[in-house]
Amino acid sequence: MYLEDGKHGIELISPFKHGISVRGSNIGLSLIKTPIIPDPLSDSDCITINYSIIPYKGGWISSKAYIEAYKVVNPLYWIINYSGENLGYLIDKLIDIDGDSVVLTMIKKAENGEGIVLRLYDISGSSGELTIRTEFPINKAYRVNILEEKIAELSIENQSTIKYRYRPYEIVTIYIE
C-alpha cells in the first residue's frame, strides 16, 4: 500500500493477506482476524506478524519503492549446491539488472542444462530499456518463451552486457549461454 503526495510518500508492506485501509492521512493494517465460531479459541497461540513501513521521496516508481516491497513480499532464498557451499551471495555479484521499473523474479538453470534463465517484468506500465550486466562472459543470449523456446537472439556488448527494449507490463524471459 502506497500513500503519497507526489513529493514524498510512505509504503506499508506485509507479505500476508491482511486488510489495509486508508482514511484521509491514516493508514490501518488489520493484524489478525479470527473466527469465534465454531472454536472461540482459534488462533489463540503465539502469532508472528511481519510488516514494513518505508518512507520515500518522489513517486513510488521514481523512488523505486516497489523494489523494497518486492523484497519483503518475495524474499531472496539462498541456493545451496550439492557440496553444501552457500552460493546465494553470488547473485548480487554476478548479475546486475538496470531498468527504470523492472523487477527480477527468477534466476534458474536452463531446462537443457546448458545456460541460465532470467525472468523479469515491468511493474510500472511503461516501456523502457533493460540492461543486464554480468561478471561472466556471455556467449549468446536469447529472448525465450516460458517453455524456454528461442524467440530471438539478443545482441551482446563487451561479452557481458545485454540490452533489451521492453513494453509496458511485459514479462521478459532471457536465456544466457
Compute the C-alpha angle 156/154/95, nearest 5°.
60
Grid coordinates belonging to 61: 516508481
Helices then strands, each counted (H, E), the chain: 2, 14
User: Hey, what domains does the chain have and what are their CATH numbers?
Assistant: 2-73 (no CATH), 90-176 (2.60.40.2220)
Reported as half-sphere exposure (CB side, CA atoms, 13 A), residue 117 has a value of: 20
Give long-range contacts, CB 8 A cutoff, 24+ apart: 35-43: none
Give the distance from CA 118 to its chain's centroid.
12
Tens-digit pLDDT profile for residues 74-95:
766 655 555 555 555 445 567 8
Tens-digit pLDDT profile for residues 9-57:
888 887 776 677 888 877 788 877 777 778 777 777 777 777 888 888 8
Q: Which of 65, 37, 62 is nearest to 53 (CA)?
A: 65
Whether 68 shows a pLDDT value over 60: the answer reads: yes
Contact 61, 101 (CB under 8 A): yes
Per-residue confidence band for 6, with pLDDT thresholds at 50, 70 and 90: confident
